[in-house]
Structure 1
Amino acid sequence: MSNIQRKQGPLTEVVYIHIPFCTNKCFYCDFNSYVLKDQPVMDYLRALDREMEMTVKAHPPGVIKSIFVGGGTPTVLKPDEMDFFLKSVKKHFPEWDEHIEFSMEANPGTTDLEKLSVMREGGVNRVSFGVQAFQNELLSGIGRIHNTDDVYRSLENARAAGFHNMSIDLMFGLPNQTVEMLSESVSKALALGLPHYSIYSLKVEENTLFHTMYQKNQLPLPDEEDELNMYLLLMNRMAEAGYKQYEISNFSKPGFESRHNMAYWRNEDYYGLGAGAHGYIGRRRHINVKGVNPYIEAVQQGLPYLSTLDIPQEEAMEDFLMVGLRVLDGISASRFQEQFGMTLEEVFARPLNKLVHAGLLDKSHEGYKLSHKGILFGNDVFGEFIGSITGN
């Protein structure tokens, strides 16, 4: 198959914006983030404003259904900086769906009532707190600046500022973490009664302190059996509490699934704005310049793209399956055919048959989805589709 021609599809409705500043670098983090001290924050926000202006001129937006501000830690912005930033967003993306989901990541140690109030007034209506664990010794052991008291105080402030749609992130497979410690964290998280929880396993990434420690055999990680038991505990406890596992790492009450992440998993177009951000429009992917000052300088010359890449049809098909199968409702055969003009079985007969036979995928009248066993071995499932088209 050859590269397809880019065509003008529906107007883009999803926006990701990157704020790359953090109070400190967590030991596991390989995201594009920089310690806040002495950074040119307002210069960065002005450059971001300029990138938004150029982007919407090149690719006019539709009615925006989702905005997600990630980092870094966006809530390290001071109230006046936050106000400037949110006004920029509204200026360049003025048409919002009446049910827009406007999310911002937050660190519990960086959210007071004044800042949260500015966020709420600026249109943010969903906050995702990076809690990670409810044991202070685990938090300090992974480089987090907050403690459990900060978590409760931040949630109280967020409610006082008018936020009702909140999520927290937890992690499992952390150094020195036991199944019992995770169970305690889940109990404390569920006691908060939030509509959404994201629970991720630790991945030791290159260019992190944890990777250096791992290479030196100095990272006391749980063994594979304990990590599997942690994941099984999560799935059971969340289901018992009435939360649907709608994606491998995400649980929600009905109607509170992350609309932004669902757009990624459905392989929809999205704007990617800010240093190091990735965007995907009209089957063309771009990556922005990463460093803060290089990004500011690049914007003076035009769109700050580090690279752009047309996605071949084969790769777009693989992406459709690999990201789509993360969602536990699975992939739609009719959506695949509508998007690519071929059936799933025409393109992926061999891996689909193999995975169904192995009990890792279930076939339904709508398409395919991970089986209970497949959820536990998701990476093995996704790997079957890489480079598999030529083998049919």
Structure 2
Amino acid sequence: MVSSVYIHIPFCQQICYYCDFNKFMMDRQPVDQYLDYLEKEIVESIKRTPITNLKTVFVGGGTPTALDLEQTQKLIDMINRHIIKGQAGVEMTFESNPNEISKEKLQILKDGGVNRISFGAQTFDEGLLKKIGRTHSPNEIEEAIQTAKEVGIDNINLDLMYALPGQTMEQFVDSLDKAMELPIQHISAYSLIIEPKTVFYIEMNRGKLKPAPEEDEAAMYDFLMKYLNEKGFHQYEISNFEKNGLESKHNLVYWNNDEYFGFGAGAHGYVNGVRYSNAGPLKKYFQLIDEKGVPFIHEHTVTKQEKMEEEMFLGLRKMKGVSEVEFSTKYGATFNEIFPNVIEKLSKDGLVEYKDDYLRLTHKGKLLGNEVFQEFLL
């Protein structure tokens, strides 16, 4: 059953130095043609597998709000016509850069059903913003949030990063302090990971960039968890914190290992037990849609063993953890039957614990999450 949709808009006004998502500089790109082909992909995909009980739509990138007003309206109309179809209660999220959103554009989003917006703040330090390739100022973060509130979008997420090149604990604490002054209900906070094919990766290989020491990264993450808890934000996933019960329903789809459509160039999806990825280059994306109706370049039928592994390493990202009863009902076996000695070893190392029926990470386990997850890859 597919009840969630991700839509990828691969255009940006500026390429951030750490970003490895499929993206293109906006200038001289066939944006309108892309939206036409995106619509073709959506129509053909839903014809093959109808959406059932739609719960979430997430529009990411790239930078979705890099589209102009007319293109934004075209995208919103497309989503409502083919995907939402008047259904109530759908969580609809748009990603945005703080300096690329106007009141007019936010009004189009609000009128079109967007009820959640995610601003890529990353840091409130002006020097660090420039160092990572961001073009907004700290003041523009606050202005964007206030404007979203003015048009009636109250469910607001702020993306923050830590362990940035040269970032001090004082700078990170200052960013958190400034974030707490704003009317937000959700924070996603991630440490910098230097990925191949990024500006930072090239600079690192040339010896011009030095990643933050692991101990600094761990100290910032440890502080983050304690700080946000004191400020009334509930940590429900390794990197995500909410208050007033406003968890990201869409991201929970991934962590619950549920199926979802992925539309757009470079998008990934999981439908009918098959994980797939779309062509990233626009010409290839257009060509495949013309030829096959869908732009898949890779499809993989997930085996039962892989599903069980994913259930564990995705589910353990959630602070609630993974229910052994639900796991046994779904797969006909207990944790220990599928992963002999793994739970015992991780428990002995103080990385996981049982609470009622759920296996979950300990505090130490949160700090060493990747080591825990690897244990479930057989």
TM-score (norm 2): 0.97
- CA contact 1:71–1:105 (8 Å) conserved in 2: yes
2:325 — aligned with what?
334
2:238 and 2:356 map into 1 onto residues whose CA distance is 22
1:196 and 1:166 map into 2 onto residues whose CA distance is 6
- CA contact 1:63–1:96 (8 Å) conserved in 2: no
Q: In structure 2, what residue type is equivalent to 1:319?
A: E
SS in 2 for 1:110: coil
Partner of residue 104 from structure 1, selected from 82, 94, 97: 94
1:24 and 1:330 map into 2 onto residues whose CA distance is 38
2:250 — aligned with what?
260
Report % sequence identity.
40
Residues 44-80 of structure 1 deviation map (CA, whole Å, 9 limit, x = unaligned):
0010111010011000111211000010000001111
Q: Does 1:291 align with 2:287?
A: no
1:190 and 1:222 map into 2 onto residues whose CA distance is 25
SS in 1 for 2:57: strand
1:386 — aligned with what?
377
1:176 and 1:20 map into 2 onto residues whose CA distance is 29
Moved over 6 A (4+): none
1:37 and 1:281 map into 2 onto residues whose CA distance is 34
1:81 and 1:234 map into 2 onto residues whose CA distance is 38
Q: Report how far residue 287 of structure 1 moved.
A: 0.5
2:355 — aligned with what?
364
Q: Does 1:176 align with 2:140?
A: no
Q: Does 1:219 align with 2:209?
A: yes
- CA contact 2:320–2:358 (8 Å) conserved in 1: no
SS in 2 for 1:131: strand
C-alpha spacing 1:344/1:240, structure 2 compared with 1 (3 Å): same
Q: In structure 2, what residue type is equivalent to 1:190?
A: M
SS in 2 for 1:108: coil
- CA contact 1:65–1:96 (8 Å) conserved in 2: no
2:294 — aligned with what?
303
Residues 212-233 of structure 1 deviation map (CA, whole Å, 9 limit, x = unaligned):
1111222143322222111111
Tell me how large the CA RMSD over aligned residues is.
Answer: 1.1
Q: In structure 1, what residue type is equivalent to 2:351?
A: L
Q: Does 1:136 align with 2:136?
A: no
Moved more, 103-112 or 330-339: 330-339
Residues 294-321 of structure 1 deviation map (CA, whole Å, 9 limit, x = unaligned):
2122211211111111011111111110
Q: Report how far residue 96 of structure 1 moved.
A: 5.9
- Unpaired segments of 5 or more residues in structure 1? 1-10, 388-392
Q: Report how far residue 290 of structure 1 moved.
A: 0.7
1:151 — aligned with what?
141
SS in 1 for 2:71: helix
Q: Report how far residue 119 of structure 1 moved.
A: 0.8
Aligned ranges 1:170-209 → 2 under 5 Å: 170-209=160-199
2:16 and 2:44 map into 1 onto residues whose CA distance is 33
1:280 and 1:365 map into 2 onto residues whose CA distance is 31
Partner of residue 312 from structure 2, selected from 298, 321, 324: 321
1:120 — aligned with what?
110
2:254 and 2:101 map into 1 onto residues whose CA distance is 27
- CA contact 2:145–2:183 (8 Å) conserved in 1: no
Q: Does 1:373 align with 2:376?
A: no
1:164 — aligned with what?
154
2:358 and 2:176 map into 1 onto residues whose CA distance is 33
TM-score (norm 1): 0.94
Q: Does 1:277 align with 2:271?
A: no
Q: In structure 2, what residue type is equivalent to 1:313?
A: K
Q: Tell me the matched-pair count.
A: 377
Q: Does 1:312 align with 2:303?
A: yes
Q: Does 1:69 align with 2:64?
A: no
Q: Does 1:343 align with 2:334?
A: yes
- CA contact 2:99–2:140 (8 Å) conserved in 1: yes
